[in-house]
């Protein structure tokens, strides 16, 4: 549904541009430790009594989410986006592809090589970083609702990080439920490819590509030793 909405809006804005929404399967490891520790809240909220009744009836794992209760499922690490080759073919034909929605549909490979879906949610930032690596993208761009990554976010001492290496950010602690996965995915992409990742506001996408209004995370080249702005 979200793919449909994005495709329609982009088509209205970019009339004449070829745009396609593609369901994307994300292969995960059936032995991933995440399957024994479900942590990802999904679906509606319940009061405790209702949550426990539904959990007993359906075999769900439940957990507190703020003041309410929700179903929780595993969040295994993505190994491969199975439609990456198809996405690459479309991109080569100048098609804008909307894909890997919600991290992609998690699947496992059976011993006979066939695929089966599993009840899980793949982190969308890690899936995006993996897809960018599979496509050999020049830049991983993660758009959000803040203009840059901030140290001390929400406090009077908040300070934007404009440029950093993965090692610069190693000692920083970012919230697991918000900026943490984006930072981890950006570091993973930069270290795995030697190419930059950027995090910034959706409305600033063009400026971000130009290196403005953004947190830019990359790895210096062998002969590069420029200072980093923090």
Tens digits of pLDDT across the chain (230 residues): 899 999 999 999 999 999 999 999 999 999 999 999 998 899 999 999 999 999 999 999 999 988 999 999 999 999 999 999 999 999 999 999 999 999 999 999 999 999 999 999 999 999 999 999 999 999 999 998 887 777 766 677 677 778 888 888 776 777 666 688 898 999 999 999 999 999 988 888 888 888 776 778 887 654 344 434 43
Give the per-residue pLDDT at 228: 42
Burial 147-181 (b: 16+ CB within 10 A, else e): bbbbeebeeeeeebbbbbebeebeeeebeeeebeb
Strand partners, 125: none
In the numeric block, the tokens 């994005």 are attached to 6
**Alpha-carbon distance 83 to 114, whole Å?**
15
Q: Domains (ranges, CATH) in the chain?
A: 1-37+74-136 (no CATH), 138-230 (3.40.1160.10)
Torsion angle (degrees, nearest 10) of CA 16, 87, 97, 166: -130
Task: Describe the strand order of the beta sheet including 215-217 as a list of residue ranges.
Answer: 140-144, 197-201, 215-217, 163-164
Query: Which candidate, 50, 55, 80, places its Cα nearest to that of 68?
Result: 50
Strand partners, 64: 69
Tell me the whole-structure pTM to 2 decimals. 0.84
Structure tokens at 155: 């406090």
CB-CB contact of 213 with 148 (8 Å): yes
Q: Is 98 exposed, middle or buried (0-12, 13-18, 19+ CB in 10 A)?
A: middle
E strand residue ranges, 74-210: 78-81, 96-98, 105-109, 115-117, 140-144, 149-151, 159-161, 163-164, 197-201
In the numeric block, the tokens 């399957």 are attached to 35
**Alpha-carbon distance 218 to 78, whole Å?**
22
Give the per-residue pLDDT at 221: 57
Kind of pairing, strands 61-65 and 68-73? antiparallel
């Amino acid at each position: 549904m979200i793919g449909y909405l994005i495709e329609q809006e982009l088509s209205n804005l970019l009339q004449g541009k070829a745009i396609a929404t593609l369901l994307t399967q994300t292969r995960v490891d059936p032995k991933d430790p995440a399957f024994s520790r479900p942590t990802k809240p999904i679906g509606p909220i319940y009061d405790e009594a209702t949550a426990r009744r539904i959990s007993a009836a359906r075999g769900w794992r439940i957990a507190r989410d703020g003041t309410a209760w929700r179903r929780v499922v595993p969040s295994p690490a993505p190994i491969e986006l199975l439609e990456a080759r198809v996405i690459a073919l479309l991109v080569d034909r100048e098609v804008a592809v909307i894909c890997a929605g919600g991290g992609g549909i998690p699947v496992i490979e059976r011993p006979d090589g066939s695929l089966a879906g599993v009840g899980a949610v793949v982190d969308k930032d890690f899936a995006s970083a993996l897809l960018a690596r599979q496509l050999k993208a020049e830049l991983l761009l993660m758009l959000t609702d803040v203009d840059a990554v901030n140290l001390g976010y929400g406090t009077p001492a908040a300070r934007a990080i404009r440029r950093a290496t993965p090692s610069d950010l190693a000692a920083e602690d970012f919230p697991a439920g918000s900026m943490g996965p984006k930072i981890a995915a950006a570091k993973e992409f930069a270290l795995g490819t030697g190419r930059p990742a950027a995090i910034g506001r959706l409305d600033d996408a063009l400026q971000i590509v130009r290196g403005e209004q953004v947190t830019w995370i990359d790895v210096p080249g062998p002969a590069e030793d420029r200072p980093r702005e923090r």
